[in-house]
Chains A and B, each alone.
Chain A
Amino acid sequence: MIVQAIVDGIFTGAIVSLGAIGLSLTLQIMRFANFAHAEFMTIGAYLALAAVGLMGPGAPSLGLSFGWQLLVAACLAAALAGVLSWGLDLVVFRPLRRSGAAPLVLVFAAFGAALILRHVLVLIWGHDSYFYTRELQLGVMIVPGVRVLPDQVFILALAIFLVTLLHLYLTHHRTGIAMRAMAESPSLSQVCGIEVDRVMRTTWIISGFMAAMAGVFSGLTPQLHPELGSNILLSIFTAAIFGGVGSLPGAVLGGLLVGIAENLFLLVADPGYKPAMPFLLLLGVLWLRPQGLLGEKAS
């Protein structure tokens, strides 16, 4: 049972990780908690739905419940979500920053934006349930007592792939390196001539892209609904902070650990308290090691 819970946790954690990456980046570079982040997961999911509506999800292949078309749809959706994410910054957050608003005003604006985004989705798609595919996967028993879905394995592999790509970008591409510099020290980076605007733009786009990917695959199991993102928001925050804000491996590790912790918690505790789980974890982290597992200690 425990092994199953851990395995389940790893798979839920993969999705949380993808969401946490983007949040961690904005938290570190923009230095505000973007409560609208989760809505980009939902937006990504619904955009992919629209794309799939045009193309069809594709016949199940390779034991997965979908075909390559969904992947293409996901990429398209994620790209669009990334642009939208940047757009949100242009329209809302940047003007606020320019006018010297307190960081917490930005947080509140993010709340408001999240509300708007979510209800625009409701306006368009309503509250009905939507599916990418009607296929139902049956768990494959890999080890006695542990069942795994092929879809889950795929999502994990995809998450690892995306994270690796991002890591390479951050370490080898100019803008990526600039992002890391800005994360460490914004003022110093400006002095070194780093184009702040470009870095910010890239941050938002990547953040939105990752979130959308997480959203699409979250919607796979098993359906989409407008609260898809906001339901995981708190887990994502916990993961980002747990792993250490600004650290990419930290976000991944944080996501996996949060996923595992949530599932283990449920073995012992009353499921009625399940939504509280990420917070207990978060409080513990903030109390004991506020910089997270892999973060830098605040100077």
Chain B
Amino acid sequence: MMGLASYLVFFACVVLVLCILTMGLNLQWGFTGLFNAGVAGFYAIGGYTHAILTAAPSPQLMGNFGLPWLVGIIAAMLITAVAALVVGLITIRLRGDYLAIATFGIGIMIQLVSLNLESWTGGSQGITRIPKPLSTWFEGSLTYNLFYLVFMVVVVALVYWALERILSSPWGRVLRAIREDEMAASSLGKSPLSYRLQSFVLGSTLMGLAGALYVTFIGFVSPFDFLPILTFQVWAMLIVGGSGNNRGAMLGALVVWGIWAASGVAVSKWVPPSHAAQGAAIQVILIGLTLVLMLLFKPRGLLGERAVVSRHLVW
């Protein structure tokens, strides 16, 4: 019983980090119609910035300044915002799927930089000994994880509340207007590009925050944390949960990550180890099938967006 509780606390912390990530993407895609396929890249920038600033010094690495945790978090968000601004300026004019390809490429480049810039990022060995905030206050890993869970719940609630406020503000309404009918919005004097850029930057900042929170929780970061499969997972979360809806985003994070973890358990229970590789392949196939079927039969996701609005004709 204790064991299950301990695992669930851990699982919940990871899900909460993914919630922030998905809500960031939701702002970009659900509310602004931007297909950001480089989610992993911004997650990485946040994670690495935090790690480089807060980790304990190491002889092989130039960074690792051992700064306080809060500094790391704030810096992670700032640096990610700046990076998103740069990326946004380059890509924001691009049409839908071109934006996807471009951001996908950028995500990959960021990951490659983290792999090759060894003197700062530790390359493939990663950065270790990333401190956890207030770790000395709590004895034992379960108590600490419980604290972190509560902490994450507070952070996620704050993010959710802030997003909801922003989206129901005038700024948010303009955003939705731009998504639906750009020409009409610009004819009213609103600059679509500028709003899109702001939304892109804000969404990416959330992703950076998620990255910093994640590496804090795990205590270790390496380039392998930011492979394209992560982008795919976050997108799956958004689509399954329902884009254009922050509660949907969170539900999607829970459901998709839950399926991912549970299917791993199922394979290990029902498939003998000698066939484990094939069992694992089946796991991925099932995950893919779930997604495609969701798209076919419940395209709005589990909690689709409330107001139904016209979509551009496909072709």
Contact = CB atoms under 8 A, between A and B. Distances in A.
Interface stretch (B103-111, B148-156, B265-273): B103-111
A116 interface: yes
A266 to B, nearest CB: 14
Interface in B278-315: 278, 281-282, 284-285, 287-289, 291-292, 295-296, 299, 311-315
B98 A241 contact: yes
Interface string B81-117: 0000000001100101110111011101100100110
B277 interface: yes
Given A92-B296, A102-B312, A276-B105, A119 B97 contact: no
Contacts of B29: 104
A277 to B, nearest CB: 10
Q: Helix, strand, loop or mixed for chain A's interface? A: helix
A234 B90 CA distance: 19
B299 A105 contact: yes
B288 A119 contact: yes
Contacts of B257: none
Interface residues of A, number: 48
Contacts of A282: 101-102, 105
Interface string A179-218: 0000000100000000000000000000000000000000
A151 B299 CA distance: 47
Q: Helix, strand, loop or mixed for chain B's interface? A: helix
Given A108-B235, A115-B284, A119-B285, A270 B105 contact: no
A103 B277 contact: no
Interface string A103-126: 111111101110110011011001
A35 to B, nearest CB: 9
B239 A105 contact: yes
Interface string B247-277: 0000000000000000000000000000001
A279 interface: yes
A196 B91 CA distance: 33
Contact of A276 (B91, B112, B287): B112
B214 interface: no
Contact of A270 (B94, B109, B116, B296): B116
B161 interface: no
A108 B239 contact: yes
A232 to B, nearest CB: 14
A276 B96 contact: no
B105 A96 contact: no
- What are the 10 A-B residue pairs with the smallest beta carbon separation, nearest first? A279-B105, A116-B288, A115-B288, A33-B97, A272-B116, A112-B291, A112-B292, A122-B281, A119-B284, A123-B281
Given A100-B311, A109-B296, A283-B91, 7 more contacts: A99-B299, A102-B311, A122-B278, A126-B277, A279-B102, A279-B104, A290-B94
11 contacts: A103-B96, A105-B239, A105-B299, A107-B97, A108-B235, A113-B292, A120-B281, A122-B281, A237-B101, A278-B105, A287-B90
